[in-house]
């Protein structure tokens, strides 16, 4: 706490140029740099051996029209078969860790703990062993959006019974992999699965449970996370000594102008605070409780749509995050919805968001590039949760299908610079950073149209060949020097936008 206050005061008195000098753009010693993927996005092998069907298998097979190119993850990067090649690429690039997720229905074909797939579990044991043998730390996400379809048929994340089903699933993985895995992620991006999966069709299961679905899902996610944490604490922590955290998608929410500081805070609370506040302090942020109750009342609901935690649950939940995992890609300017002055409530947060017209956009329509928002967000996290151990688990840029990905390198350079300033100048306790993604992969509803990889995958070819992109070469240098490297000058890049203020 003291450290960053002093650092901030010193830096406030010297110029930015000087600060960059102070920061030097080297990574602090012990800082962990890695990369990641998710089971459904890379594995393929959707029906091999006794694997059960999951929500994504079901969704893409029954609703191909929802996926931009009508594709699916049946084969994806074929990583189920090519994991050794993937590990070799991760190693040759020089990454410290690889974060992968486990497919619940590959390990538990019935969805429940009564049947454990030997083959499914063996795959994850092999992958973990291969990483360890190559000196790469395995970080395991228990759930990255692909729960068993049978569980969805019983309501999925809107059914509280999922909490105990999830804990039983997690126990099997702690038992099987916990001697080698020391950093666990329970659930990746609850906002996405709850908001886009239970109030829109953008993500599986694609159920539109208006007003109610999102918060109900979020409530059960928090309980599942917390109970899993407590179970690890009681049954595994002493002998395995690992840490457990959740991964939240946190954008930079900046005030549109200085009169909207409160609005920016509210946006943060509805985004990061929704999950993080309960895990650090035992309950939802006050502003969320007040706002959702107010809007619920205006809609005629007899009680707030935001569920309440009992005192017993508050005690279970409070203090169940060893580190805060963050996925960060983009930012927004925030301001209050003027309709509210007329008594019209258009949203629970009461906010509107926009971007600056100078911000470049990636091929993902939501991914506007504003590196300063990254540092802003990290400082906010520092201040909100008493400077928690923070791991940026995902950061990356989607582009077209090209190997000379200068835009991506620029993005990494500018975002990492902001992160290093936040860490070294402002004392933000960020200990790890993960590139999204090692490979081009199945980008959910965008199919294969948006490519996040630093390595290209030929999805049209049965061999799913991998070819390194320029950004992989850039990362290789960064990792060997542990220092940001200058950005090569674009030559033939078709994805370059010229005249961007952030291009060096």
Q: Which residues bind ligand NOJ (CB under 6 A)?
A: 38, 41, 188-189, 327, 394, 436, 443, 452
Distance separating alpha carbons of residues 14 and 41, to the nearest angstrom:
45
The helix (run of H) or strand (run of E) holding residue 79 is: helix 79-93
Q: Which residue is it, tokens 């992969």?
A: 441
189 or 426: whose CB is closer to ligand NOJ? 189
**Torsion angle, alpha carbons of 433, 188, 45, 166, to 10:** 140
Q: Residue 176 has which token pair?
A: 């099987």
41 or 228: whose CB is closer to ligand NOJ? 41
List, in sequence order, every residue forming a beta bridge with 430; answer none if it has no partner: 390
Tell me, rounded to whole angstroms, the distance of Cα 289 from its chain centroid. Answer: 25
Q: What are phi and psi of 72, to 5 degrees?
A: -155, 180
What is the C-alpha end-to-end distance of the chain, expressed in Å?
34
97 or 260: whose CB is closer to ligand NOJ? 97
Burial 49-84 (b: 16+ CB within 10 A, else e): ebbbbbbbbbbbeeeeebbeeebbbebbbbbbebbe
37 or 266: whose CB is closer to ligand NOJ? 37
Is-contact 182 241, C-beta < 8 A?
Answer: yes
278 or 453: whose CB is closer to ligand NOJ? 453
57 or 443: whose CB is closer to ligand NOJ? 443
State the minimum distance, in angstroms, from the CB of residue 329 to ligand NOJ: 7
Distance separating alpha carbons of residues 134 and 144, to the nearest angstrom:
25
On the 0-12 / 13-18 / 19+ scale of CB atoms within 10 A, 34 is buried
State the minimum distance, in angstroms, from the CB of residue 369 to ligand NOJ: 14
Is-contact 110 161, C-beta < 8 A?
Answer: no
Sign of the CA dihedral with 189 first, then 210, 443, and 178 last: positive
State the minimum distance, in angstroms, from the CB of residue 446 to ligand NOJ: 8
Closest CA to 19 of 464, 418, 398: 418
State the minimum distance, in angstroms, from the CB of residue 436 to ligand NOJ: 6
State the minimum distance, in angstroms, from the CB of residue 187 to ligand NOJ: 11
240 or 449: whose CB is closer to ligand NOJ? 449
Is 404 an active-site residue? Answer: no
Closest CA to 79 of 52, 58, 101: 101
Which among 394, 404, 414, 418 is annotated as catalytic?
394
State the minimum distance, in angstroms, from the CB of residue 504 to ligand NOJ: 25
DSSP letter for each residue of 333-387 = EEEE-GGGGGT---SSS-EEEE--TTS-B-SSTT-B--HHHHHHHHHHHHHHTTS
142 or 263: whose CB is closer to ligand NOJ? 142
291 or 328: whose CB is closer to ligand NOJ? 328
Distance separating alpha carbons of residues 88 and 503, to the nearest angstrom:
32
Q: Which residue is it, tokens 């149209």?
A: 449
State the minimum distance, in angstroms, from the CB of residue 326 to ligand NOJ: 11
State the minimum distance, in angstroms, from the CB of residue 418 to ligand NOJ: 19
Q: Which residues contact 364 (CB under 8 A, 6 or more apart)?
A: 398, 443, 446, 450
State the minimum distance, in angstroms, from the CB of residue 425 to ligand NOJ: 27
Orientation of helix 470-481 relative to helix 406-420, angle to 10°: 30
Is 234 an active-site residue? Answer: no
Helix (H, G, I), strand (E, B) or coil at 402: coil
Which among 130, 152, 189, 414 is annotated as catalytic?
189
> Would you please indicate which residues are annotated as catalytic (active-site) residues?
189, 394
């Amino acid at each position: 706490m003291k450290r960053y206050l002093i650092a901030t005061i010193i830096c406030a008195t010297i110029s930015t140029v000087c600060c960059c000098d102070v920061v030097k753009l080297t990574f602090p010693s012990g800082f962990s740099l890695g990369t990641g993927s998710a089971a459904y996005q890379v594995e393929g092998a959707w029906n091999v051996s006794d694997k059960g069907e999951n929500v994504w298998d079901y969704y893409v097979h029954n609703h191909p029209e929802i996926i931009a190119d009508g594709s699916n993850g049946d084969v994806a990067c074929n990583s189920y078969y090519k994991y050794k090649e993937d590990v070799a690429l991760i190693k040759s690039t020089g990454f410290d860790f690889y974060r992968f997720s486990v497919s619940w229905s590959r390990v538990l074909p019935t969805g429940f703990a009564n049947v454990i797939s030997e083959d499914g579990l063996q795959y994850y044991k092999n992958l973990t062993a291969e990483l360890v043998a190559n000196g790469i730390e395995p970080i395991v996400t228990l759930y990255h959006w692909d729960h068993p379809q049978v569980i969805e048929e019983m309501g999925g994340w809107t059914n509280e019974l999922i909490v105990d089903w999830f804990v039983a699933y997690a126990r099997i993985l702690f038992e099987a992999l916990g001697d080698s895995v020391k950093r666990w992620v329970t659930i990746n991006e609850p906002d996405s699965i709850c908001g886009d999966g239970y109030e829109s069709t953008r993500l599986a299961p694609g159920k539109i449970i208006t007003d109610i679905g999102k918060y109900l899902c979020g409530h059960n996610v928090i309980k599942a996370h917390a109970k899993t944490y407590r179970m690890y604490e009681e049954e595994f922590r002493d002998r395995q000594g690992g840490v457990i955290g959740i991964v939240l998608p946190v954008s930079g929410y900046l005030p549109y102008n200085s009169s909207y500081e409160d609005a920016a805070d509210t946006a943060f609370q509805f985004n990061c605070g929704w999950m993080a506040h309960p895990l650090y302090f035992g309950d939802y942020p006050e502003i969320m409780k007040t706002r959702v109750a107010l809007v619920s009342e205006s809609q005629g609901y007899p009680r707030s749509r935001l569920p309440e935690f009992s005192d017993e649950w508050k005690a279970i939940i409070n203090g169940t995050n060893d580190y805060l995992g963050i996925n960060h890609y983009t930012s927004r300017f925030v301001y209050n919805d003027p309709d509210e002055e007329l008594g019209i409530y258009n949203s629970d947060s009461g906010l509107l968001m926009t971007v600056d017209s100078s911000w470049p956009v990636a091929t993902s329509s939501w991914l506007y590039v504003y590196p300063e928002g990254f540092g802003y967000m990290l400082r906010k996290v520092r201040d909100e949760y008493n400077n928690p151990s923070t791991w940026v688990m995902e950061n990356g840029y989607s582009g077209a299908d090209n190997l000379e990905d200068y835009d991506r390198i620029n993005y990494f350079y500018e975002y990492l610079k902001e992160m290093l300033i936040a860490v070294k100048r402002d004392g933000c306790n960020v200990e790890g950073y993960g590139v999204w993604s090692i490979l081009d992969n199945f980008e959910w509803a965008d199919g294969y149209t948006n490519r996040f990889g630093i390595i290209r995958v030929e999805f049209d070819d049965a061999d799913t060949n991998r070819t390194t992109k320029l950004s992989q070469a850039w990362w290789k240098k960064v990792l060997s020097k542990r220092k940001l490297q200058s950005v090569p000058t674009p030559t033939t890049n078709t994805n370059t936008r010229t005249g961007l203020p952030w291009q060096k």
